[in-house]
Amino acid sequence: MIGKRKPTHPGEVLREDIIKPLGITVTEAAGCLGVTRKTLSALINCKAALSPEMAVRVGKATKTSPESWLFMQAKLDLWNASRKFPKVKELKAVAV
């Protein structure tokens, strides 16, 4: 079920719940993840989606599951798609 409230971007979670509390810079965090500062900046500023590769990197760095990070992204993607294509709700079910 897709809710009315927009799901939180995984980059925002990474920024607010991991990077800021640790008191590290974006450059330091990018180095830990093995990505460029530009790549991480786009993610934590919600300008880029979290890729499966980045989910693995973040999962390893935070000792969490990559699936949890991908699930956050999938929820956001589905929410955005449901807003972009509202007429899909009007389609009739296809008999299989």
Contacts of 77 (CB under 8 A, 6+ apart): 49
Question: Tens digit of pLDDT for each residue in 5-26?
Answer: 999 999 999 999 999 999 999 9
Give the residue with greater pLDDT, 95 vs 65: 65
pLDDT-based confidence at 92, cuts 50/70/90?
confident
Nearest to 60 by CA among 28, 52, 21: 52
User: Tokens 């798609």 identify what position?
Assistant: 81
Question: Tens digit of pLDDT for each residue in 29-87?
Answer: 999 999 999 999 999 999 999 999 999 999 999 999 999 999 999 999 999 998 887 66
DSSP code at position 23: T
Q: What is the pLDDT of residue 91?
A: 67
User: Tokens 């709700």 identify what position?
Assistant: 89
Q: What is the pLDDT of residue 88?
A: 63
Question: What is 10-90's CATH number?
Answer: 1.10.260.40
- Tell me the two tokens of residue 4: 């009315």
